Amino acid sequence: MLKEEKVYILKDKKLRVEIIQLHHDTPITGHGEQWKMVELVTRNYWWLGITKEVKQYVEGCDQCQRMKNRAEMPAGKLRPNKVPERPWQHILVDFIIKLPVSKDHDLILVVCDRFLKMSHFVAITEKTTVKGLAKLFRNNV
């Protein structure tokens, strides 16, 4: 059945989704946004609610959602960190985790000073509390 020289698609959900998929998931169209897909599909096909169904398909496309451009301002130019003027003014703290157990310890606390390029390594366990970690930090660093 034709409507204004376009193929009219009856209420067949599977067929409608397949038509949208054929226009959307091809390398040529490259997962286009909603209005591009509506334009492509309506070149040859028509049915009531076509815009709504195309929108739902595009919004549900996992690849489109992962690759979507974000409407955020650029972060700006990178600025280097200030160089510390004295030792232990600026430190970096990290953990080395999931180590084999050795003398009841399975984790290493790493503390680095940016000025002296000096590092401290403290063996701890995963069960160490925040309070215990603060005491270890005070006593070892």
| DSSP conformation letters of 16-78 | HHHHHHHHHSSTTTTS--HHHHHHHHTTTEE-TTHHHHHHHHHHH-HHHHHHPPP--------
Dist. CA 82–CA 90, nearest whole Å: 10
Q: What pLDDT, on the 0 to 100 scale, is given for residue 41?
A: 85
Residue 15 is assigned to a structural domain of this protein: yes
Task: Please state the separation of Cα 17 from the chain's center in Å.
Answer: 27
Residue 76 is assigned to a structural domain of this protein: no
Mean pLDDT of 116-127: 90
Q: Are residues 49 and 100 in the same domain?
A: no
Judge whether 128 and 139 are in contact, CB under 8 Å: no
Q: Are residues 6 and 61 in the same domain?
A: yes
137 band by pLDDT with thresholds 50, 70 and 90: confident
For residue 134, what are the domain limits? 91-140
Residue 83 is assigned to a structural domain of this protein: no
Q: Are residues 60 and 109 in the same domain?
A: no
Mean pLDDT of 30-59: 85
- With 0-12 / 13-18 / 19 or more C-beta atoms within 10 angstroms meaning exposed / middle / buried, residue 20 is buried
Count: domains in the chain = 2
pLDDT digits 0-9 by tens, 1-36:
666 788 888 888 888 888 888 888 877 777 778 788
Dist. CA 61–CA 122, nearest whole Å: 47
Residue 28 is assigned to a structural domain of this protein: yes
Dist. CA 51–CA 4, nearest whole Å: 17
pLDDT digits 0-9 by tens, 68-121:
666 777 778 888 888 889 998 889 999 998 888 888 889 999 999 989 989 999
Q: Are residues 61 and 96 in the same domain?
A: no
Residue 115 is assigned to a structural domain of this protein: yes
Q: Are residues 22 and 60 in the same domain?
A: yes
Q: Are residues 60 and 101 in the same domain?
A: no
141 band by pLDDT with thresholds 50, 70 and 90: confident
Q: What pLDDT, on the 0 to 100 scale, is given for residue 70?
A: 67
> Collapsing DSSP states into helix, strand and coil, what is residue 121?
strand
